[in-house]
Amino acid sequence: EAQVTQNPRYLITVTGKKLTVTCSQNMNHEYMSWYRQDPGLGLRQIYYSMNVEVTDKGDVPEGYKVSRKEKRNFPLILESPSPNQTSLYFCASSFDTAISTDTQYFGPGTRLTVL
């Protein structure tokens, strides 16, 4: 089954404790992206990757890192989480770049709470 998986689905952590949210897709997609969703702000892009070893900042990259060592995985790293990073995070992938008509597949979301 074609899918994007994220882990964990729920995480409560404390300020400053490094964490990683994993994202994996099994569709051989080149394009992967991370978004955060906040009430009243909609979806905002954090980072995206056009291909292996190619990553670019989205609209709200501060406080986050990503890596794309393999095509299928695109982890989101919070080196020193802060409460303002409490949010719902979505990973997405598509075969080609975001501007194509190819469906962008979204993961189920990771709800992160930073105390």
Partner 1 sequence: GEDVEQSLFLSVREGDSSVINCTYTDSSSTYLYWYKQEPGAGLQLLTYIFSNMDMKQDQRLTVLLNKKDKHLSLRIADTQTGDSAIYFCAESRSDKIIFGKGTRLHILP
Residues in contact with partner 1 by CB under 8 A are: 4, 35, 40-45, 48, 50, 56, 58-59, 90, 92, 97-101, 103-104, 106-109
Count the neighbouring beta carbons within 10 Å of the beta carbon of residue 69: 9
Q: Which one, 58 or 63, has the nearer CB to partner 1?
A: 58
Residue 70: partners with Cβ closer than 8 Å, 6 or more residues away:
52
- Smallest distance, partner 1 to C-beta of residue 54, A: 11
Cα angle 7-2-48, degrees, rounded to a multiple of 5: 60
- Smallest distance, partner 1 to C-beta of residue 15, A: 27
Q: Which one, 81 or 107, has the nearer CB to partner 1?
A: 107
Q: Which one, 9 or 18, has the nearer CB to partner 1?
A: 9
Q: Which one, 13 or 105, has the nearer CB to partner 1?
A: 105
Q: How far is CA 82 from the centre of its chain?
A: 17
In the three-class reduction of DSSP (H, G, I as helix; E, B as strand; rest coil), residue 114 is classed as strand
Residues paired with 40 in a beta bridge: none
